[in-house]
A = this chain, B = another copy of it.
Amino acid sequence: MAEDRDVQVHLLPSQVPSGGLAGGIAVVIDVLRATTTVVHALAAGATCVRPCAEVEEARELAGQMRVGRVVLGGERGGSPLPGFDVGNSPREYTAKVCKGNVIVLTTTNGTRALLRAAEAERVLVAAFVNYSAVCEQVRQDRRPVHIVCAGTDGEVSLEDTLLAGALVDCLSQACEVQLNDAARLAWDCFDNHGRVLQGALEVGKGGATLRRLGYDDDIKAAAQVDRFALVPELRRDPLRVEVGAVGIVKSHWPK
């Protein structure tokens, strides 16, 4: 219990106060599915992920890049986009698709949250699949922490809040934390739903939409805690997500 650390959760990108992330470390969460997919893509050997807010912007960017070295991926309303190489299923991002390639990605909620978080000094990408690796990076950092949840179509989401709470839980074991009210709500959510993770992912609005669209396996994939040991990190000029730190010393997920 050394330092006293400011840990704020923002349940939606729109809840981040203007300029509020400056000087801090931001952790971006969109469990279903963008941040889970980013981890999968980098683990499968993609050189980087270029987040785009709009579909046309993604098409244009991909069009400027070397043929055979770029993969155009994304969704709107959960469904793949016409002319895109892949959708937003983490399972689509295999080594065959990703290895050595740049992924241009546009999604309804997640890539927007990532772009909103870009004003922070350091930006990490978190999912359940890289939970403990993210925990270790954030613990080692000294900056104020801002956990930015993507939510679902402008509404707060159970699964993003749950992961935010799991991060709050881990940080609170490492130091004295100063929490905002949203961080307390997230922590409560983790306390109650953390032990029934896959069920929680199924019951939320985002999970229900995926099940309706036949993406049940994506929910299972998103619930695989600590499947990967890498932490995607935002780099600039151009804005892109690459593999940052790699490695887990110990699992921080409660037994």
Contacts and interface: CB of A to CB of B under 8 A. Distances in A.
Q: How many copies does the complex hold?
A: 2
A79 to B, nearest CB: 21
B205 A181 contact: yes
A11 B157 CA distance: 12
Nearest to A193: B188
A152 interface: yes
B193 A181 contact: no
Contacts of A156: 11, 15, 181-182, 185
Determine the main DSSP class of A at the interface with B. helix
B192 A204 contact: no
Contacts of A186: 185
Contacts of A188: 185, 188-189, 191-193
Given A191-B192, A192-B191, A192-B192, A184 B155 contact: no
A185 B184 contact: no
A128 to B, nearest CB: 17
A122 to B, nearest CB: 23
A174 interface: no
Interface residues of A, number: 26
Contact of A157 (B154, B155, B181): B181
Nearest to A153: B17
Interface in A167-221: 180-182, 184-189, 191-193, 203-205
A178 to B, nearest CB: 11
Interface in A1-24: 11, 14-15, 17
Contacts of A130: none
Contacts of A157: 181
A106 interface: no
Nearest to A160: B181
Interface string A117-142: 00000000000000000000000000
A107 interface: no
7 contacts: A14-B14, A158-B181, A158-B184, A158-B185, A180-B205, A185-B185, A187-B192
What 6 A-B pairs come out closest when comparing CB atoms? A188-B192, A158-B181, A188-B188, A188-B189, A181-B204, A156-B182
